[in-house]
């Protein structure tokens, strides 16, 4: 380099210096960038990388289980697969959205190709293709191995008993949110708190959970134990459906309650629905009528009026009341009538004979304010606090807003409205010694580990009447189901039953009066009367074939009570001889009631009582208590057969009527009026019957009725109340199903 010219050496040094500076600058820039990345911008970069590698996942705990009082599962959550897709991943893999949608539709029946194609064309990283697929469909999707399409597990609500207790349970939607019933009311407990986690994603975008994370997400919502008894619920639903179908009613509801605790053992509605597929049923079928529907209770309120007056000291138990020989004028325009012309009755007789006038006389001793306070103390006009959505408190206007007639009519159940749960709760106060209990459906709440979170102990809202008064009224009510009582069909062999029938005309909101052809039949009572275990309220809405509470609702009470008492192991009253005597008395009373109805029909047939008024046992029509006009007999009059002798029937016998040519409804009424039970075969009109018309049949015996479709319309419209036993399940085959509301 020393041999180089000076000028050249100088230029070379400059070049080396410039190169050094250049290298130093580059190195400085690299160091500066390294500093920026590693130190200054490190948090931002780490956050960006974390976003690429992780995904925020919001997980809800599995919904809690609902049990009956004995631990039987009523509502559970099961794991099912849902088909999802990542449209971005599909696009990166070069998949055509339309072809992919068609491929998926080939293994998932009912999949809308157009909708799925639109979702796959989106710019989102996640889209549902089909939720809650079957295991077979899920396996078929996996076999397709489509990039970006995968299965994700979800929890689906499942009701293993289908329609059982549907209105109590309600249902949850596809996202696991409670929509109706206990599922909605206890949503916070069943659902549990949501948790948000940060999960790692693999190179295909799939979420990978760590073992620790999986352990923390297995938490469940709280479990609910109801007061419902699955067996009693089944009994109530079965008997209610039979009654609604037999009497061609619009709807019905039954409440079974333990009067000592307020626990509801069964709450049944008809029509009903399957909570596994609620969308297949109309809104009317899903309505919990026992809680949301209010109705005029009619004569079932009379015991509460009597109890209120006895508790207030305005009447005595042995006091006699003037019943006006069957009618009483309230004012110049309004008159109250009874079915029979009673001159004077005691409180016990007023309940037994269901006297409107007597009840109004008793109410008058309390005055308007006294009657209002008595009804309010029994819980009328306010919600019961039942843990179900949509409960109504009924209607009981303040006494300052009553008209002159209201003080009388409210005393026997007109001009006010109640729900089935209210009626059962109020009757429970008479049954348990005067304590108004808070009705409950939720017995206990446990967390996922089984620890007790809440224990709903029985709650006494208030002492409505003294214990002695409650026992006195309960004793009065036993006459209703005894010989000659309007509720003889509700009597249970071997047990003393206290109850009250009710038959009310429904309000006509167009005219402002009462509908001529729309009735509501009811019976509410408790058993055993001396040591009550059950309160049962039965309401049948708009029955067509008959409408008296004792005839329509009474047998439902009896059959539900009989089966439930056996299930609970409640022993009958007394010893073997006492049981036999009690059963014999009930059979004799029912026989006499049917004979009385038969004699009334015979008198009408002979023309000796045309236009007269005859009363059938079991009639209890509010406003016109039990009055039924006798009619000329037409179809159904017994006609002697060719080989039938003309001797008089024995005490336990009846003449078999001629039901040929009748509809199922007409035949049912006619045979029941004669004390016989039909066994229908086929459908249409009656073609043949066995035994033959005019033969002698034992009371309560079966008559085989063969039906065929007619070539013309036959519809015998027979009205009125019958006093026979409601047809058995076999006898319902020829009766059209109840109307859909």
Give the pTM: 0.72
Which tens digits make up the pLDDT trace of 58-77? 666 789 999 999 999 999 98
Which residue did the predictor score with more confidence, 727 or 46?
A: 46
- Low-confidence winner among 142-156, 295-309, 440-454, 651-665 (lowest mean pLDDT): 651-665
Task: Say whether 299 is catalytic.
Answer: yes
Nearest Cα residue to 294 out of 420, 168, 425, 424: 420
Instruction: Note the pLDDT tens digit of each residue in 26-40.
Output: 888 888 877 776 777
Which helix (H) or strand (E) covers residue 183, if one does?
A: helix 181-185
Region 294-315 average pLDDT: 95
Catalytic residue, from 82, 299, 354, 420: name it: 299
> Residue 458: beta bridge partners?
none
pLDDT at 610 over 50: no
Band (pLDDT 50/70/90 cuts) for residue 639 is very low
Measured in whole angstroms, the distance separating CA 590 from the mean position of its chain's CA atoms is 31
pLDDT at 432 over 90: yes
Class of domain 230-593: alpha beta
Residue 725 has pLDDT above 60, yes or no: no
Integer CA distances (angstroms), 561 to 28, 465, 497, 568, in order: 95, 26, 10, 10
pLDDT at 697: 83
Q: Is residue 425 over pLDDT 90?
A: yes
User: Over the stretch 173-199, which tens digit does the pLDDT of each residue have?
Assistant: 888 889 999 999 999 999 877 766 666
Backbone angles phi, psi at 357, to 5 degrees: -65, -45
Tens of pLDDT, residue by residue over 346-368, are 999 999 888 999 999 999 999 99
User: How much is the pLDDT for 427?
Assistant: 98
Its sign, for the CA torsion 101, 102, 108, 109, is positive
What is the domain partition of the chain in residue ranges? 6-40, 57-226, 230-593
Q: Angle 467-477/302-312 helices, nearest 10 degrees?
A: 140
**Cα 69 from Cα 321, distance rounded (Å):** 47
Position 642 confidence tier, pLDDT thresholds 50, 70, 90: very low
Q: What is the pLDDT of residue 595?
A: 57
- Please report the pLDDT score of residue 637 as a whole number: 35
Least confident of 271-275, 295-299, 677-681: 677-681
- Going from the C-alpha of 84 to that of each of 141, 143, 158, the distances in angstroms are 10, 15, 22
pLDDT tens sequence across 469-511: 999 999 999 999 988 788 989 999 999 999 999 998 887 777 7
- For residues 255-267, give the mean pLDDT: 98
Q: Is the pLDDT of residue 97 over 90?
A: no
3-state helix, strand, coil in the chain (%, to 5): 40, 25, 40
Nearest to 341 by CA among 631, 615, 610, 616: 615
Model confidence at 629, in pLDDT bands (50, 70, 90)?
Answer: very low
Burial of 17 (0-12, 13-18, 19+ CB in 10 A): exposed
For the stretch 390-410, pLDDT in tens is 899 999 999 999 988 888 999
320/600: higher pLDDT? 320
pLDDT at 361: 94
Strands (E), 167-320: 171-172, 178-180, 195-201, 207-208, 223-226, 251-257, 264-270
State the pLDDT at residue 290. Answer: 95
Residue percentage of the chain with pLDDT more than 70 = 79
What architecture (CATH level 2) is domain 57-226?
A: Alpha-Beta Complex (3.90)
Q: How far is CA 243 from the centre of its chain?
A: 15
Q: Do 541 and 249 meet the contact criterion of CB atoms below 8 Å apart?
A: yes
For residue 269, pLDDT over 70 is answered with yes
| Pairwise CA distance, residues 323 & 345, whole Å | 7
Structure-block tokens of residue 458: 């029985």
Predicted local distance difference test score (pLDDT) of residue 51: 64
Distance separating the N- and C-terminal Cα atoms of the chain: 114
- pLDDT beyond 90 at 627: no
Categorise residue 693: left if φ over 0, alpha if ψ from -120 to 50, beta otherwise.
beta
Q: Where in 39-162 does DSSP place strands (E)?
A: 54-59, 66-67, 73-85, 127-133, 149-158
Q: What is the DSSP string of 539-584?
A: EEES-SS---HHHHTHHHHHHHHHHHHHHHTPPPSS-HHHHHHHHH
Does residue 421 have a pLDDT over 50? yes
Torsion 371-373-375-377 (CA) sign: negative
Cα separation of 150 and 144, whole Å?
A: 10
More confident position, 416 or 147 = 416
Q: Closest Cα partner for 406 from 621, 378, 398, 309?
A: 398
Kind and range of the H or E element at 514? strand 514-527
- Residue, of 120 and 531, whose pLDDT is higher: 531
Q: Residue 638: what pLDDT?
A: 40
d(CA 22, CA 393): 91
CA distance 218 to 738: 46
pLDDT tops 90 at residue 675:
no
Write down the pLDDT at residue 123.
75
Contacts of residue 502, defined as CB under 8 A and 6 or more positions apart, other chains included, come to: 297, 298, 299, 300, 301, 413, 520, 521, 522, 523, 524, 549, 553, 620, 622
Task: Quote the CA–CA distance of 253 and 293 in Å, as a whole number.
Answer: 10
């Amino acid at each position: 380099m020393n041999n180089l010219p000076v000028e050249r050496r100088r230029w070379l040094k400059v070049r080396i210096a410039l190169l050094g500076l250049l290298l130093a600058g580059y190195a400085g820039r690299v160091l500066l960038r390294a500093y920026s990345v590693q130190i200054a911008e490190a948090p931002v970069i780490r956050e960006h990388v974390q976003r690429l590698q992780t995904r925020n996942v919001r997980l809800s705990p599995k919904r809690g289980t609902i049990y009956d009082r004995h631990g039987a599962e009523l509502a559970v959550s099961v794991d099912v697969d849902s088909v999802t897709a990542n449209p971005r991943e599909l696009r990166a893999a070069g998949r055509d959205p339309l072809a992919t949608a068609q491929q998926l539709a080939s293994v998932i029946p009912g999949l809308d190709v157009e909708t799925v194609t639109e979702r796959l064309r989106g710019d989102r990283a996640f889209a549902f293709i089909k939720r809650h697929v079957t295991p077979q469909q899920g396996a078929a999707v996996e076999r397709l191995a489509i990039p970006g399409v995968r299965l994700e597990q979800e929890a689906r609500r499942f009701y293993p008993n289908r329609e059982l207790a549907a209105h109590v349970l309600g249902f949850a939607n596809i996202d696991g949110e409670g929509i109706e019933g206990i599922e909605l009311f206890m949503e916070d407990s069943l659902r549990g708190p949501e948790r948000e986690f940060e999960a790692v994603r693999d190179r295909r975008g799939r979420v990978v959970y760590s073992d620790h994370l999986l352990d923390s997400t297995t938490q469940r919502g709280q479990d609910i134990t109801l007061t419902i008894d699955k067996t009693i619920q089944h009994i109530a639903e079965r008997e209610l459906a039979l009654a609604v179908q037999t009497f061609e009613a619009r709807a019905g509801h039954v409440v079974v309650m333990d009067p000592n605790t307020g626990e509801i053992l069964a709450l049944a509605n008809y029509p009903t629905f399957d909570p596994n597929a609620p969308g297949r049923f109309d809104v009317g079928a899903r309505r919990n009528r026992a809680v949301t529907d209010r109705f005029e209770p009619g004569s079932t309120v009379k015991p509460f009026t009597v109890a209120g007056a006895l508790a207030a000291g305005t009447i005595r138990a042995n006091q006699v009341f003037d019943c006006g020989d069957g009618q009483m004028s309230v004012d110049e325009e309004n008159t109250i009538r009874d079915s029979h012309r009673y001159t004077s009755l005691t409180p016990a007789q007023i309940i037994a004979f269901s006297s409107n006038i007597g009840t109004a006389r008793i109410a008058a001793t309390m005055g308007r304010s006294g009657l209002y306070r008595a009804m309010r103390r029994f819980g009328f006009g306010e919600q019961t606090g039942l843990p179900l959505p949509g409960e109504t408190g009924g209607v009981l206007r303040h006494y300052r807003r009553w008209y002159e007639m209201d003080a009388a009519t409210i005393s026997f159940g007109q001009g006010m409205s109640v729900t089935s749960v209210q009626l059962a709760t109020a009757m429970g106060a008479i049954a348990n010694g005067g304590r108004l209990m808070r009705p409950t459906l939720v017995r206990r709440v446990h967390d996922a580990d089984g620890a007790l979170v809440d224990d709903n102990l029985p709650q006494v809202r208030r002492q409505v009447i003294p214990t002695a008064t409650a026992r006195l009224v309960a004793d009065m009510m036993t006459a209703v189901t005894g010989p000659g009582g309007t509720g003889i069909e509700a009597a249970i062999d071997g047990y003393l039953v206290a109850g009250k029938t009710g038959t009310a005309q429904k309000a006509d909101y167009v005219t402002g009066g009462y509908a001529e052809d729309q009735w509501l039949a009811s019976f509410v009572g408790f058993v055993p009367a001396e040591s009550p275990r059950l309160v049962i309220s039965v309401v049948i809405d708009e029955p067509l074939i008959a409408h008296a509470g004792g005839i329509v609702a009474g047998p439902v009470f009896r059959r539900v009570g009989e089966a439930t008492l056996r299930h609970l192991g409640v022993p009958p009253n007394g010893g073997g001889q006492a049981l036999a005597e009690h059963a014999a008395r009930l059979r004799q009373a029912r026989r006499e009631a049917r004979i009385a109805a038969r004699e009334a029909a015979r008198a009408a047939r002979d023309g000796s009582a045309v236009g007269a008024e005859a009363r059938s046992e079991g009639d209890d029509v509010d406003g016109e208590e039990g009055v039924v006009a006798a009619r000329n007999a037409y179809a159904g009059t017994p006609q002697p057969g060719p080989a039938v002798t003309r001797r008089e029937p024995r005490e336990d016998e009846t003449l078999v009527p001629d039901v040929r040519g009748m509809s199922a409804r007409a035949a049912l009424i006619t045979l029941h009026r004669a004390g016989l039970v039909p066994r229908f075969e086929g459908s249409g009109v009656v073609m043949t019957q066995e035994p033959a018309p005019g033969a002698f049949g034992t009371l309560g015996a079966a008559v085989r009725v063969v039906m065929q479709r007619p070539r013309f319309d036959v519809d015998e419209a027979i009205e009125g109340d019958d006093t026979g036993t409601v047809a058995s399940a076999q006898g319902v085959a020829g009766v059209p199903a109840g109307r859909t509301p």
